[in-house]
Amino acid sequence: MSMRKLTTTCCIAGGGPAGIMLGFLLARAGVDTVVLEKHADFFRDFRGDTIHPTTIDLIDQLGLREKFDAIRQSHIHTLDVVVNGNRLTPVNFSKLRGRNDYIALMPQWDFLSLLAEEGATYPNFHLMMGATATGLLHKGERVSGIAAATQDGDIEIEAALTVAADGRDSALRDAAGLVPTDYGVAIDVLWFRLPRTKVDPPDTLAYLDTESMIITIPREGYYQSGLLIPKGDFAKIQDDGIPAFRARIVRVAPFLAEVVESITGWDQVKLLTVQVNRLSQWWQDGLLCIGDAAHAMSPAFGVGINYAIQDAVAAANLLVDDLRAGSVSTDELARVQKRRLPPVARMQPIQLRLHDVVAKPGGGGFLANPMTWWQRSIAAIALPILRLFTARIVGRGFRPEVLEKQLNPR
């Protein structure tokens, strides 16, 4: 079969939050854009279902609120954690200004489908599902597009700008020889679903004790649950058997005793590796990395999707004029990194610190049950102060991005 060749203005590898949002924004602004997604649909493993207030603000800006609200979702206004039996509320989004003072929880595939469907209403948006980016094309030193494998054979796509939005294991980043610095997180997460209990406790992000930490994201009809384990311990946990796994869950979150029997085999439990890393340079001539391809975020505070989307908005704001003109300089690509690196470089250490101290198996050991008088006193003083900052840092991020006027539809 002969090699198919296409030409576009911006070719994006990866149909996750970063890639789909960037493709949609550029196509909406009149820039011809191809997005390649290696899966045939968006219905993938759990990859985080959180839509943060800044992203909901963006949905308002895009005029998609009605369609967004029509997606089945639940809302959480606080991030409660139960530490050794003591309920704490370190984050309360009602402290945020504006109407979007909550996190929406919805299946990521529904959110991506909404953006893809909206993108498809613009003639410049070309989403190729089941298309895997396999390498970069070059013209001299400059990256000039993507080589990809599709269901209909191999294809080469020439582009003024190539974007690697292909996630933490980015093939394009590897092809460019860009190597992220890894900051070494010592945990992984085992994800599984548990049915909701007959009497729901208040919405709770996580339960911690001196042995384990379990995430219990409240979803309609189930808890999206995750057990934090030391990196590399999954085989040992499997050897200990399902009854021991269930017992561990119940020890840290006793209210789950009535539903934990629903886990009957390891096929219901998915290992997801946690990474925190970032590139020192997010770009080369003709190439830009965004989202997890530039900086893998851990699940702590569930901000990775929001950061990926904010990268897409910043890139679209900064590059759209050059893309309309048909070429993007390295200075402009460097400006994208300059804009987005500071919020990433401030958030990642917070995630790492959280994993060092609390968000790890046994991290709940710092509180007695019941709390000692001085622990109660410190909590009474510290938590209200903490809440003044956390809602903003978690909900809106260090540098929330908004659509600038150059992105208006053309």
Residue number, 47 or 355, with CB nearest to ligand FAD: 47
Give min distance, CB of 361 to ligand FAD, in A: 15
Q: List contacts with ligand FAD (CB under 6 A).
A: 13-19, 36-39, 47-48, 50, 132-133, 165-167, 171, 189, 272, 274, 291-293, 297, 299, 302-306, 308
Give min distance, CB of 145 to ligand FAD, in A: 13
What gap in Å lies between CA 146 and CA 26, rounded to an integer?
18
Residue number, 140 or 221, with CB nearest to ligand FAD: 221
Beta strand extents in 307-375 (DSSP E only): none
Phi and psi at 241, nearest 5°, equal 95, 160
Give min distance, CB of 124 to ligand FAD, in A: 20
Q: 108 near 51, Cβ under 8 Å?
A: no
Beta bridge partners of residue 213, listed in sequence order: 208
Residue 46 amino acid letter:
F
Of the candidates 326, 337, 283, 317, the one whose C-alpha atom is nearest the C-alpha of residue 10 is 326
Give min distance, CB of 376 to ligand FAD, in A: 31
Give min distance, CB of 272 to ligand FAD, in A: 3
Residue number, 28 or 219, with CB nearest to ligand FAD: 219
Q: What is the spatial order of strands in the sheet that 86-92 belongs to?
A: 86-92, 78-83, 206-208, 213-219, 222-230, 187-195, 270-273
Residue number, 29 or 215, with CB nearest to ligand FAD: 215
Residue number, 122 or 301, with CB nearest to ligand FAD: 301
Of the candidates 170, 181, 206, the one whose C-alpha atom is nearest the C-alpha of residue 355 is 206
CA dihedral 319, 321, 324, 328 (to 10 degrees): -50
What gap in Å lies between CA 332 and CA 348, rounded to an integer?
24
Residue number, 304 or 364, with CB nearest to ligand FAD: 304
Residue with tokens 């595939």: 109
Give min distance, CB of 313 to ligand FAD, in A: 13
